[in-house]
Structure 1
Amino acid sequence: MTKPDIILVANSPGELSALVEPMVKILSTKNYRIILVLTPCQYASGKEVEYASKIPGISEIISAEKWQKWVFLNQKPRGIKFSPKGVVLFLGGDLAYAVILAKKLKYPACAYLNERIAWRNFFKKFFVRDQAAYDKFSKAASPRKLKLVGDLMVDSVAHQKKWEPEEKVITFMPGSRQWEINYMTPFYQEVLALIKKEEKEAKFQIVSSPFIPAKPLEGAKIIDFEKVHNSEIVITIPGTNTARLAARGIPMIMVFPLNHPEVIPLEGLAELVGRVPFVGKAFKRWLAKNINKKTRFFALPNQKAQKEIVPEIRGEVDPFSVALKVLSLLKEKEKRKRMSLELTQAMGKPGAAKKIVEELDELLSSPA
């Protein structure tokens, strides 16, 4: 008998490491074939296919290029004979891509939601990460379609060590995309030099992404994310990293410099306007200023807790203010302990992937 297909839809580095991996880990224990579809994304690193090919349990990978040929030229991916039975699970990108895919394959579709809800009548189930998200989406979708499952990002680090700090170890996380690394590395180098002036015994590390390797930081050891548990403090940019660090109880400071917003890629029409000579740079500055003003929190654990657990340094930022905050927090051991506890409480417990798979099992076992 042909195995049912589970089609996972995702695109960016954070989604692969924090959402796809924990889902595949549980799905691969079942009698399913797992196919990953990578959809177009302006935030992609270019290394997504290579990274995904190393995730045990994925049988087939459809790249963004192949996906576009399938959608626009009706060129079905070669060598893949889809099962008569299956389900599409959206994990990130544009919900419309999951809708198109499900219609092409005549599969039901479910979605793990984060920021917005759409195609309410089309999706069979919407999985949400916490009560706040459930309350938000319940205004737009029927409660019978919503399922509170927990945070997949917590699942993604459940096997990794929790916070075990070594004295005066400070770690920098520059991101997983080339523009982030190019932008943050020289900034972090200045921060490191300022901290070193005041704290001679400080030891430094920089996390290298599996997608785009970190640039060397003078005076810092290069490590991978799994080894970050030995840090007294981590300095990171916004994104998935803040949630994954929080789930491990690792104290951090989030830095979001908007000194040069023109280097930050935007979505859709906004990015096209941002590339217009003379006008584009001013537009991106205006947009960055407004988004920063309107956004209460950028760090994901702060969003979940609806309060500031992680200090956020954002807007027009200079290395001195970041170094000052790091040195201050480095002296406050009890404050870091409290932060660690609050971070793990905000993120919740693992188990989201298991709950989602139970729902998919039920959907696939029910009559068409």
Structure 2
Amino acid sequence: MFPAGSSSLALDEGPPSAHANTKAHRGGDVVIMTNGPGEVCSWVQAAATAIKDASDTDEHAHSNGVFAALAPCPHASGREVSALGKQKAIDGVAAPRQFLWLLLLGRAFFVVRQAAANVVARLMRRKVPAARARRLRQRGVVLFLGGDQMLAILLAWRLRYRCVLYAERAVLWPNLASAYVLRSRAQLAHVPARWRHKCHVSGDLLLALARKRESTAAQSTKRSSPSETIVGVLPGSKRAKLRIGAPFFLSSAASLMSQMSTDGVKPPRFVLPLAPTTTADDLQACLDDTTDDLAKRFGWLIGRARVEMFEADSDDVRERCGSYEHVGHVVADHRDGELVVELWAPSSDSGGVPPFELYASMDLALTTVGTNTAELGALGVPMVVCLPSHAIEDFRGAAGGLLGLLMQLPLGVGAAVARRVNLALLSQSGHLAWPNMWADAAGVTPPVPELVGRVSPEEVAESAASLLVDATARDSVRDALKRLASAQEEDTGEGGTPTQEVVRCVFAQM
């Protein structure tokens, strides 16, 4: 399948040490392959910035270009290209719909795309773009940070680059990759002995990013009183998750407000930070009963919630917390009164960084599964994790191959296949929240409650209320999360931060 002389798949020689002197490497380009919003706003930004910084401080090395290639992903928000374009360390982005063209055109892709854009601009009598693209260098590395590992290997083969894959969970193709960077030393046990020389333990990238911001996370939102509690509402950023998560988690917040009021406890202050790839319009669309039939099927707060943004020309000073600012409210009519949830969004100078400071100010978070559970866990924020399966057929990217194709069939066939496959995967998945997976690996009791399946907002509210009214229980969860996070950090293995280890491995392959 692959030519023996391919520079990215030289299987007869082990890759250079990940700790080779980075000053000895020759200049080249790094193409980061990724897919979803969580990876774009965390791993990619950190890795791209570190690669650029290492190049700028290395007087013996040529400057390294950093490009991003977005692989097709059914769960993408559609705004990953825009988010990557705002990252100063990224020199060029190939959109998901252009991925096949990148494979076909190889290193000439960015030049051909620019030439085509110039021709179109002249034909339409528009201003020709001032930006000038260049051909990718002959020497380079494809760095996998999300998506399908095989696509990264194919891209590296086409570009004749080396291929470095960050394995968050499974090491799938050690015989074809140039090097693997592993999240945990325990992953080595699942790699055949003959390929272990290609594997380097870096530690958990997500955990490291959150812990790095922990020192600045002391900056938090202002509380009206010392007894005020803040509850975060995190419905997700991927389109399929947000469609269900927005009305479901807001309904859970409304139920929590009602339950605490009934018990004579002051309701908490609710905050909802928008993901860098999500807008207020996306949120409103998920809450509008004219967009889908979820209201008829499940009720919740669909059709009874509205997003109210502050006036753009308002003279009011907006409250800021780290890289996020308070931009408006989500207001919902509920049987026991009006639910008001503060809406927070990235500031114009945020650079697409997750809201670590806002996370740190929360006493509790109501969240779906995903990268945010690792970020919350690293900061020691208690959480209730929920994955409602009421419309699980909306998730069409859980399986690849033939099943993945069958999920895309029309006339209800794809939905039926997706429902059966997703339910089967859920039944075999074990814990889904990252802190609980850390606990499983350590052989200790999982600290985070997980509610998976056709759960109701009232069940989520009950689980959250039990933690909110018991400060001792919250402190116990917080301590357990920090212990687990510290244990993960101790598994970095080879010195340096996880991001530094990834960069060293990339430069060693250059």
Q: TM-score, normalised on structure 2?
A: 0.66
* In 1: Cα distance, 2:478 partner to 2:392 partner: 31
* In 2: Cα distance, 1:314 partner to 1:205 partner: 23
SS in 1 for 2:181: strand
**2:234–2:249 contact (8 Å) kept in structure 1:** no
* In 2: Cα distance, 1:292 partner to 1:179 partner: 16
1:67 Cα deviation after fit:
2.2
* In 1: Cα distance, 2:193 partner to 2:393 partner: 35
SS in 1 for 2:109: coil
Q: 2:506 matched to which residue of 1?
A: 360
* In 2: Cα distance, 1:360 partner to 1:106 partner: 15
Does residue 197 of the first structure (1) align with residue 229 of the second (2)? no
2:229 to 154, 157, 168: 168
* In 1: Cα distance, 2:377 partner to 2:244 partner: 24
Q: 2:205 matched to which residue of 1?
A: 152
Does residue 235 of the first structure (1) align with residue 235 of the second (2)? no
After superposition, where does 1:235-314 map in structure 2 within 5 Å?
Answer: 235-266=366-397, 267-268=399-400, 269-274=402-407, 275-306=409-440, 307-314=445-452
One-letter amino acid matched to 1:363: Q
1:107 Cα deviation after fit:
1.5
**1:117–1:140 contact (8 Å) kept in structure 2:** no
SS in 2 for 1:76: helix
SS in 1 for 2:451: strand
SS in 1 for 2:91: strand
- Decide whether aligned partners of structure 1 residues 328 and 263 sit closer, same or farther in structure 2, where only a CA change above 3 A counts: same
1:141 Cα deviation after fit:
6.1
> Is there any run of 5+ residues in structure 1 with no aligned partner, and where?
none
> Is there any run of 5+ residues in structure 2 with no aligned partner, and where?
1-24, 56-63, 112-132, 284-306, 308-329, 332-339, 346-354, 490-495
* In 2: Cα distance, 1:106 partner to 1:28 partner: 22
1:175 Cα deviation after fit:
0.9
* In 2: Cα distance, 1:256 partner to 1:146 partner: 33
Does residue 222 of the first structure (1) align with residue 343 of the second (2)? yes
1:51 to 83, 90, 101: 83
* In 2: Cα distance, 1:354 partner to 1:33 partner: 17
Cα RMSD for the two superposed structures: 2.4
1:80 Cα deviation after fit:
2.7
Q: 1:80 matched to which residue of 2?
A: 134
* In 2: Cα distance, 1:120 partner to 1:353 partner: 21
Q: Alignment identity in percent?
A: 25
Q: 1:263-292 CA distances to partner (integer Å, 9 max, x unpaired)? A: 222244435434443444443333333222
Does residue 318 of the first structure (1) align with residue 371 of the second (2)? no
Q: 1:63 matched to which residue of 2?
A: 95
One-letter amino acid matched to 2:406: V
Does residue 38 of the first structure (1) align with residue 70 of the second (2)? yes
**1:162–1:250 contact (8 Å) kept in structure 2:** no
Q: TM-score, normalised on structure 1?
A: 0.90
Does residue 5 of the first structure (1) align with residue 29 of the second (2)? yes
1:150 Cα deviation after fit:
0.5
* In 1: Cα distance, 2:153 partner to 2:413 partner: 36
2:52 to 20, 28, 38: 28
Q: 1:117 matched to which residue of 2?
A: 171
- Decide whether aligned partners of structure 1 residues 154 and 82 sit closer, same or farther in structure 2, where only a CA change above 3 A counts: same
Larger of the two Rg values belongs to structure: 2
**2:75–2:239 contact (8 Å) kept in structure 1:** no
- Decide whether aligned partners of structure 1 residues 150 and 2 sit closer, same or farther in structure 2, where only a CA change above 3 A counts: closer
One-letter amino acid matched to 1:48: E
